[in-house]
């Protein structure tokens, strides 16, 4: 006689590796498990379909309760960001301060990570992320200055007459005094760890907002040029 074999069904559930929030999968799994438990407890009345739909909506769809404040990025969390998310954070800060931003491609960006425009002024930004709060010395600054100058010639020469530019280097590390001297001589703005934390205190940012900006990252320099035209350059 043939005996049927047991069949086990597994389904993956996405979780936040840091455990900071409950994902969509976890919320839906909780609702499903509760329904199974209620179905097995035949002495307890089953909730109506309307009640179940309302619970699914409240747990899965609705936004977090206003009693639970949205977590803002801290210096330690910024230090743990990947390099591309750090670029997205700088673009987000510029956007929150009133600029139109372009988050340039991950590769082949010619050393300009973020382009921020306010009126006829363009901020060409290179980001230097460090996981160890390292020092950023003059040689790094000089290298970036040369790259930004080349970027202007290659990609912004056609609009140079109608716009003003400020080259900027942003890092969560510490610029040395020599680096700041070189930057001052070349009219380059430096935003180091202290300036960055001040900006984040003045303009709080969340990881969710950062991801929204990251999702708008352009894929090629052709897209950068198209975005500049769209901005009216």
Q: What is the pLDDT of residues 113-137, one digit of tens each?
A: 999 988 888 898 999 999 887 899 9
Please, how many CA atoms are within 13 Å of residue 213, restricted to the half-sphere of its CB?
A: 25
Q: Residue 89 in contact with residue 78, Cβ under 8 Å?
A: yes
- Residues in the chain with pLDDT values less than 50: 63, 65-68
Q: What is the pLDDT of residues 195-218, one digit of tens each?
A: 999 999 999 999 999 999 999 999
Q: What pLDDT score was predicted for residue 129?
A: 93
Geometric angle at alpha carbon 127, from 107 and 125, rounded to 5°: 90
How far is the C-alpha of 7 from the C-alpha of 168, rounded, in Å? Answer: 60
Q: Residue 124 in contact with residue 166, Cβ under 8 Å?
A: yes
Residue ranges of domains in the chain, CATH in brackets = 1-69 (no CATH), 75-230 (3.40.1350.10)
């Amino acid at each position: 006689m043939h005996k049927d074999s047991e069949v086990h069904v597994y389904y993956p559930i996405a979780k936040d590796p840091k455990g900071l929030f409950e994902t969509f999968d976890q919320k839906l799994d909780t609702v499903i498990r509760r329904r199974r438990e209620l179905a097995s407890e035949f002495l307890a009345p089953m909730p109506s379909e309307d009640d179940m739909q309302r619970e699914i909506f409240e747990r899965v769809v609705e936004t977090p309760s206003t009693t639970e404040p949205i977590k803002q990025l801290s210096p330690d969390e910024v230090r743990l960001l990947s390099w591309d998310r750090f670029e997205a954070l700088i673009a987000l800060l510029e956007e929150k301060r009133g600029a139109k931003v372009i988050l340039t491609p991950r590769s082949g960006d010619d050393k300009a990570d973020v382009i921020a425009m306010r009126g006829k002024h363009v901020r060409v930004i290179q980001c230097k992320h460090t996981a160890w709060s390292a020092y950023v010395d003059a040689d790094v600054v000089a290298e970036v200055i040369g790259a930004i100058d080349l970027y202007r010639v290659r990609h912004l020469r056609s609009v140079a007459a109608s716009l003003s530019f400020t080259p900027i280097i942003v890092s969560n590390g510490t610029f040395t005094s020599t680096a700041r001297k070189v930057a001052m001589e070349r009219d380059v703005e430096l935003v180091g760890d202290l300036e960055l934390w001040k900006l984040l205190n003045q303009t709080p940012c969340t990881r969710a907002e950062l991801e929204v900006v990251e999702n708008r990252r352009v894929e090629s320099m052709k897209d950068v040029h198209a975005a500049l035209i769209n901005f009216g350059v």
